[in-house]
Amino acid sequence: MNRKLPEYTVSLRNLFRVYGTLFAGVLIILCFSILSPDFASVDNMINISRQISFLVIIALGATLVMAVGEFDLSIGAMASLGGVIAAKLAVSGQPIWLCILIPLVSSLVIGYINGWVVTKFRVLSFITTLAMGTILGGITFWLTDGATIFENIPESFRYLGQEMWFTIPILSFIMLFLTFVFWYIMSHTPFGRRLYAIGGNESASRNAGVSVAINKNMAFALCAMLATLAGILMASRLGSAQPTSGDGLFLPAYAAVFLGMTSFKEGVPNIWGTFVGAAIIGILANGLTMLEVPSFLQDVVTGCIVIAAVILQKTGRDSS
């Protein structure tokens, strides 16, 4: 009976709760547009879309793992290793498709191992992936001796990272394509439904006949693959592979997921939320740089915004 009464107010509040983060993003864009005349230009928007592509791709994977209620701390190291392997293969003269395929396939295996350790031996994913990250970092260092790979990298290796289609970077296309694909997977396939069910209640999912272990392992595998792809694309963009290039993506990736959890599907990791979260972080970095804010302050601002968003979402939720 009483559920019909406050429809208007509820929907307005819900609207804000569900799209609040999106509004905040728009607000940030407006602020920067006023403060810096160059910010709102088409060129800069294209630039931002390229800058955030790595972050979006790696964060998509983190979203999957968080959807099943786990954590993958090895994604940064995974990205670095991916870039290094791809670059090494390119230098050794392998065809470009192989340079991409080999690291992607190996990362699927590594990610699956992450999942397997977690599900089979019931080790906390925190610990497992922290250790895996250390292992991968070691391997990367062994492959590179700690030096950046930049000599003799063929032109073709730079294609995906530096070229444009119709004046839009290929990177941006890849980012949008993957976001769309994973949105589809998470919300329109049985697999996605199962991942969310596992994250929601593992025991109930098991009782409902869901293979918890296999689905979790798959989430870890896909997460590792996306991290590796981000690493490869970054190497392609830079035309070189640094042994620590992916490390800087790790924290922002989770920040993006957490920001994303505050929007669309409230409290649940979701793909478009992650996209918006990553975009906000990217836009902040871009805008603050344009305003010549020193980079340490940028980090401070980004961190504060994540905390504020999560608090806002929590209080919004409790008051309902």
Contact residues toward other proteins (CB under 8 A) are: 3, 188-191, 193-194, 196-197, 200-201, 203-211, 267-268
Residues 6+ apart with CB under 8 A from 209: none
Closest CB to other proteins among residues 167, 203? 203
Nearest distance from C-beta of residue 37 to other proteins, angstroms: 45
Nearest distance from C-beta of residue 210 to other proteins, angstroms: 7
Instruction: Please list the residues that pair with 168 across neighbouring strands.
Output: 165
Element housing 168 (H / E): strand 168-169
Estimate the share of the chain in helix, then strand, then coil, as percent rounded to the nearest 5: 80, 0, 20
- What count of other Cβ atoms lies within 10 Å of the Cβ of residue 26? 12
Closest CB to other proteins among residues 92, 203? 203
Nearest distance from C-beta of residue 84 to other proteins, angstroms: 33
Cα gap 113→194, rounded to integer Å: 20
Token digits for 105? 């396939």
Nearest distance from C-beta of residue 306 to other proteins, angstroms: 22
Closest CB to other proteins among residues 205, 263? 205
Nearest distance from C-beta of residue 24 to other proteins, angstroms: 23
Burial class (CB in 10 A: 0-12, 13-18, 19+), 122: exposed
Nearest distance from C-beta of residue 71 to other proteins, angstroms: 18
Closest CB to other proteins among residues 2, 167? 2
Task: Map tokens 């305003």 to a residue.
Answer: 291
Closest CB to other proteins among residues 158, 206? 206
Cα gap 194→50, rounded to integer Å: 32
Closest CB to other proteins among residues 188, 314? 188
Nearest distance from C-beta of residue 215 to other proteins, angstroms: 11
Closest CB to other proteins among residues 116, 191? 191
| Cβ pair 102, 85 in contact under 8 A | yes
By C-alpha distance, which of 217, 185, 235, 192 is closest to 108? Answer: 217
